[in-house]
Amino acid sequence: MSDVPVIGVLALQGDVREHLAALAAAGADARPVRRRHELDAVDGLVIPGGESTTISKLVDIFELREPIDKRIAAGMPVYGSCAGMIMLATEVLDGRADQRGFDGIAMTVRRNAFGRQVDSFEASVEIAGVDGEPFHAVFIRAPWVERVGAGVEVLGRVSEGPAAGRVVAVRQGNLVATSFHPELTGDRRLHRYFVDLVRAA
């Protein structure tokens, strides 16, 4: 791999353009991924926010589930934000019965835990391993992590308000997930963190 890692954004649904722009600003060669050959060409993958049940269905329609499962098992770094966090979880509460993810991170995630769209909010979140002030985190119909299994590192919790203490950022090996949307702010530190993770992998 060159010093500029190739990082794909799963471009089936959700805030794809914002992640592509954030990754490029963080020093990656960022590309949309919709097909198997596009997945084969990347060093890491971002699963964006959107609608997790829709993404789950489209992953099957585009025949990407097995290839992504295999790449995750082989150690490919993946970052999931919001719906992407749900897609990486081994267990989802309040999801649909036919909803399937990638079972990457040993965690239980509650879908829409913070409420509906009208309950969207912003809060400060400190992220372990990311220097500087706390993140100004944007939560939109966001999940939270109810339980983590062995080997899962909690990177961040909500620090104030009614959701104080809730886990909203985790890492297990080369897999990272957040409840919030760093791509919707100008803060590129989390994308740089992921770019560095891909570079190291």
The one catalytic residue in 18, 19, 181, 191 is 181
Sign of the Cα pseudo-torsion (73, 78, 83, 86, in order) = positive
The one catalytic residue in 18, 19, 183, 191 is 183
Q: Does 82 qualify as catalytic in the annotation?
A: yes
Q: How far apart are CA 41 and CA 37, in angstroms?
A: 6
Q: Does 136 qualify as catalytic in the annotation?
A: no
Q: Which residues contact 118 (CB under 8 A, 6 or more apart)?
A: none
Q: Does 191 qualify as catalytic in the annotation?
A: no
The one catalytic residue in 82, 91, 136, 153 is 82
Quick check: 142 and 155 in contact, CB under 8 A?
Answer: no
Q: Which residues form the catalytic set?
A: 82, 181, 183
